[in-house]
Amino acid sequence: DLALESNPSDHPRASTIFLSKSQTDVREKRKSNHINHVSPGQLTKKYSSCSTIFIDDSTVSQPNLRSTIKCVTLAIFYHIKNRDSDRSLDIFDEKSHPLTREEVPDDYYKHDPDHKHIYRFVRTLFSAAQLTAECAIVTLVYLERLLTYAEIDICPSNWKRIVLGAILLASKVWDDQAVWNVDYCQILKDITVEDMNEMERHFLELLQFNINVPASVYAKYYFDLRSLADDNNLSFLLEPLSKERAQKLEAISRLCEDKYKDLSKAAMRRSFSADNLVGIRRSNAIIS
């Protein structure tokens, strides 16, 4: 139970690994700015006023795709940069199982990928397979679950195959229209279906076939990704609240208000009926 509670991919109260790994860089950046008296510069964040209300189109139930992928890939970047060691498994090693026909350099394990490189790789897969933002969040959950369960690290030699395996599994479990292994072979031209199947099987075995993501865990990862965005000046897209959007929000709020009123009335009726039943039982007990 204690091991479960310390695992963020299983328990909602455990802190996400990526956010804790990113804090080291955030603290150093703030300390450097303070010592060198670096100004934060012109504020780029938009604020609502009496004349204009800015909203973003990202919610926990409908995240913005582009912003979510940027945050997820930044989380992966911090995992690689601030890893504890280079523990890995052969099935994820890119030298043993290359994704392309290009020869992998001998020093491939020495060079950490930058955020843009990781983003381009993930963005290509999501765009070609038409995956959703929810899938990106679940990908990160599966990735951290793999690192915890298998006791390995994501590093330059294995990050592409680990990310690919997590995306493959997340798209099958969470997207309505699953993308099959053969479809990924059309995106990554040089990889074989047999390799994809073997990697998926190992991934599932290392996860102990635990592919469940509770709503509370999903929500925690979403809000921690937003915190990561704030710490790294990756603001979610904002747009002025239009008249049409305002009317839509008002209609939804009225619908929800009516729904909760009906639920409240039903609860009161049940409570009243229960009180009457208790009163009748007490009266019968007194009479007897």
29-76 pLDDT, tens digit each? 666 655 665 555 444 566 666 666 656 667 787 888 999 999 999 999
Averaged pLDDT, 221-225 = 95
For residue 87, give the nearest of 155, 187, 8 by alpha carbon: 155
Going from the C-alpha of 257 to that of each of 82, 163, 243, 260, 263, the distances in angstroms are 47, 42, 21, 5, 10
Instruction: Characterise 93 by phi-psi region: left (phi > 0), alpha (psi -120 to 50), beta (else).
Output: beta
The domain ranges of the chain are 62-263
**Would the pLDDT of 99 be above 80?**
yes
Give the three-state DSSP class for 59.
coil
In this prediction, residue 1 carries a pLDDT of 45
Is residue 2 very low, low, confident or very high in pLDDT (cuts 50, 70, 90)? very low
Averaged pLDDT, 230-235 = 84
How far apart (Å, rounded) are the C-alpha atoms in residues 113 and 111?
6
Averaged pLDDT, 201-207 = 97
Percent of the chain residues past pLDDT 70, beyond the cut: 80
**Would the pLDDT of 221 be above 90?**
yes
In this prediction, residue 61 carries a pLDDT of 74
In this prediction, residue 262 carries a pLDDT of 82
Is residue 259 very low, low, confident or very high in pLDDT (cuts 50, 70, 90)? confident
Q: Which helix (H) or strand (E) holds 54?
A: strand 54-56
Angle at 16 (CA atoms; ends 12, 19), nearest 5 degrees: 145
**CATH superfamily of the domain spanning 62-263:** Cyclin-like (1.10.472.10)
* Token pair recorded at residue 220: 């925690």
**Would the pLDDT of 117 be above 70?**
yes
